[in-house]
Amino acid sequence: MSLPPEKASELKQLIHQQLSKMDVHGRIREILAETIREELAPDQQHLSTEDLIKALRRRGIIDDVMKELNFVTDSVEQELPSSPKQPICFDRQSTLKKTNIDPTRRYLYLQVLGGKAFLEHLQEPEPLPGQVCSTFTLCLHYRNQRFRSKPVPCACEPDFHDGFLLEVHRESLGDGTRMADSTTMLSISDPIHMVLIKTDIFGETTLVASYFLEWRSVLGSENGVTSLTVELMGTESKVSVGILNIKLEMYPPLNQTLSQEVVNTQLALERQKTAEKERLFLVYAKQWWREYLQIRPSHNSRLVKIFAQDENGINRPVCSYVKPLRAGRLLDTPRQAARFVNVLGYERAPVIGGGGKQEQWCTLLAFLCRNKGDCEDHANLLCSLLLGYGLEAFVCVGTKAKGVPHAWVMTCGTDGAITFWESLTGHRYIHKPTNPDEPPVAEQPKPLYPYRTIGCVFNHQMFLGNCQPSDAVETCVFDLNDESKWKPMSEEAIKSVCAPGATTSLPPFPPLCASTIDASVTSNEIEMQLRLLVSEHRKDLGLTTVWEDQLSYLLSPALASYEFERTTSISAGNEEFQDAIRRAVPDGHTFKGFPIHFVYRNARRAFATCLRSPFCEEIICCRGDQVRLAVRVRVFTYPESACAVWIMFACKYRSVL
């Protein structure tokens, strides 16, 4: 394997730096003098290279050098493979552990060296070996690279000890192939987004904290190494939930560090520039809102949402929550993307005490790491994915029945067709507006969608307020270019605060991660657990249980067909399934089947839900002659370890009249 000349020179430079650090040259000179003094005869003046190498090997110098330069190829456990580049880590002495480190690139090595003052877990008992307990997991995102720590037991001082190697480089201005120097890195304003997730003993996840780490202080530190204490603020109460000890180190070491004054000045200028842009946008937004209210006083009650609070309580323009997002090879079609968003869990933002709904729009990383969120989080992600597929997509903000606030997605076809996408169910609805001026006898299209009113629509470039006489969705005309129906915001104003890189306060979008779930193994595990639960339940009722494996296997095509229909809206394969069941059920016997769908993998919880259905309970508790039971589980995996779990219970028995 040959290296390009510039990479070979960089590699030589790295080896030279390591040899200088070990003072190998000085040790060789000492051994050379000692060898000449001890081993050469007085009349012999020449020392061969072989003699010198033997002397170096005998004294262990060569072994020491090889040990320092040795690359080990063991696997990394703590990081989640996400980006095109495999995450890499060092050990605590910064000795290289991976062979795929590019010697021409600059890396930031981030170590998490424990936590403290997680006072909510002050009374948490020490977990016994093998005992299932609640855990903390730290998720990181930096410039298209994602990492995940090993889960550690929840405690007042959680034992985080993980290292993450983050590649730092510029991909513009032709600098992609050059090693970034201090000045270049100072201009890279992307923060490291850290999200702390708590997973309880039932597998339920909670967002504990979200933090944006400004890492560039390391550029002004001596030797390019600095230690920080990061105070994490809770997402529910906005009080401190704990402290993380973090160490940052540049690799290879910086040839020239910047003065701390230069670094602080740069950061202050960026903050000042961002604050000015945000101030100007706020002034413009207030002016736009005043003009909107002057059109019609009733506009004051419409759901026109210009700003939304994120998990840290920071107000951001809603347009900043959406951005074209490409799923690579993880999702193939827009409808598959809608199915993926649908199987992410739905959970309203937590609120302490009463007082209605807590408003919280999560950043994308927090939503993906928690694997669940509110309707706005689902709508923002679906809109971003549809924009990535080249569709003209918008997030709609309005209400459902009984005036409940809601968010969904709309796409506009080139032929003017309007399609609504419900991000929580994956359903699609074609919108055909009714004309309120038509006579009562005229037949009007009956809307199938659950939406009642609409206040505004937005994406990453546009924001439009509904200024039609009525905000009812069924009468709404979605001609977004007609300013008498939709009042637009200035695209330039939106771009000034929402375009990528426009301000340093905007969190960049992380890439999606492939699933780490083995669908076959997980399906088998859940199926075995359900068999055990059914057998125990029937035993309590005084019933015996006989399983028929062949009947269980015959249920698989039906489950695959149900998932295919959810993804494509096309039903297929039902005829073959029905024919196989008819053949498997003898004359005079009755067959009953009950399919059900979940987005979690907890067998006990799923079984409890199934028993609440009278149809399913009738199958599980079936009594009769020659009763044979069957259960089939099929797990369909999606990115971010989201999954659709289909379960079908069935029984056949001889009909006795």
DSSP string over 291-308: HHHHH-GGGGGS---SEE
Indicate yes or no: pTM above 0.85. no
pLDDT at 175: 54
CA distances from 57 to 26, 28, 60, 66, 309 (A): 16, 11, 5, 11, 65
Describe the crossing of helices 375-388 and 334-343 by its angle, rounded to 10 degrees: 160
Tracing tokens 């390009």 back to the chain, one arrives at 4
Burial (0-12, 13-18, 19+ Cβ within 10 Å), 465 = buried
| 8-state DSSP, 330 | S
Residue 80: what pLDDT? 40
C-alpha span between 144 and 424 (Å, rounded): 27
State how far the Cα of 147 lies from the Cα of 89, in Å rounded to an integer: 11
The pair of structure tokens assigned to 176 is: 């992609």
Read out DSSP for 482-493? -TTTEEEPPHHH
418-421/405-412 β-pairing = antiparallel
Q: 60: which residues sit within 8 A by CB, 6+ positions away?
A: none
Taken in order 55, 61, 66, 67, is the CA torsion positive or negative? positive
- Give me the count of residues in the chain: 657
Q: How far is CA 358 from CA 235, 354, 456, in A?
A: 11, 10, 20
Is residue 225 a contact partner of residue 217, using CB atoms and an 8 Å limit?
A: no
Contact between 610 and 529 under an 8 Å Cβ cutoff? The reply is no
Contact partners, residue 29, CB within 8 Å, separation at least 6: none
Contact by Cβ (8 Å): 306, 293: no
Tell me the HSE value of 373 on the side-chain side, using a 13 A CA sphere. Answer: 28
Please, what sign has the CA dihedral across residues 491, 497, 500, 501? positive
Closest by CA to 384, choosing from 244, 256, 512, is 512
Strands (E), 323-392: 345-346, 372-373
Decide: 446 and 432 in contact? Cβ < 8 Å.
Answer: no
- Is residue 358 within 8 Å of residue 349, measured between CB atoms? yes
Backbone φ/ψ region at 371: left (φ over 0), alpha (ψ -120 to 50), beta: left
* Helix 556-568, helix 574-584: angle, nearest 10: 160
> Residue 358 burial (CB < 10 Å; 0-12/13-18/19+)?
middle
H helical segments located in 453-518: 491-498
Q: Which amino acid would we find at residue 234? A: G
Instruction: Report the alpha-carbon distance of residue 584 to residue 652 in Å, rounded.
Output: 9
The H or E element containing residue 247 is strand 240-251
State how far the Cα of 537 lies from the Cα of 526, in Å rounded to an integer.
16
Contact by Cβ (8 Å): 377, 452: no
CA angle 513, 514, 518 (to 5 degrees): 140
The radius of gyration computed from the CA coordinates of the chain, to the nearest angstrom, equals: 31
Instruction: Indicate the SS3 state at residue 386.
Output: helix
**Measured distance CA(475)–CA(436) in Å, rounded:** 7
Instruction: Looking at 150-201, list the stretches that DSSP marks H as alpha helix, in order from N- to C-terminal side.
Output: 182-186
**DSSP state for residue 160 in the 8-state scheme:** -
Q: How far apart are CA 248 and CA 164, in angstroms?
A: 10
* First-residue to last-residue Cα distance in the chain: 80
Would you state the pLDDT for residue 85? 45
CA distance 367 to 349: 11
User: Residues in the chain with pLDDT < 70?
Assistant: 1-14, 16-26, 29, 31-33, 35-48, 52, 56, 61-100, 130, 170-177, 350-357, 436-445, 504, 656-657
pLDDT at 94: 41
CB 221 within 8 A of CB 257: yes
390: left (phi over 0), alpha (psi -120 to 50) or beta: left
pLDDT of residue 92: 41
Residues 284, 289, 292, 297, Cα dihedral to 10°: -160
The DSSP-derived string for 603-624 is HHHHHHHHHTSHHHHHHHT--S
Burial string for 504-530 (b: 16+ CB within 10 Å, else e) reads: bbbbbbbbbbbbebeeeebbeebbebb
- Report the phi/psi class of residue 636: left, alpha or beta, with left for phi > 0 and alpha for psi in -120 to 50: beta
pLDDT value at residue 574: 80
Report yes or no: 104 and 177 within 8 Å, Cβ to Cβ: yes
Structure tokens at 175: 């600098």
Q: For residue 244, which of 103, 136, 369, 98 has the smallest C-alpha distance? A: 136
Q: How is residue 180 written in tokens?
A: 């970034």
Contacts of 19 (CB under 8 A, 6+ apart): 25, 65
CB 145 within 8 A of CB 167: yes
Helix (H, G, I), strand (E, B) or coil at 212: strand
Q: Is the CB of residue 328 less than 8 Å from the CB of residue 512?
A: yes
Q: Are 193 and 186 in contact (CB under 8 A)?
A: no
- Contact present, 363 and 311 (Cβ < 8 Å): yes
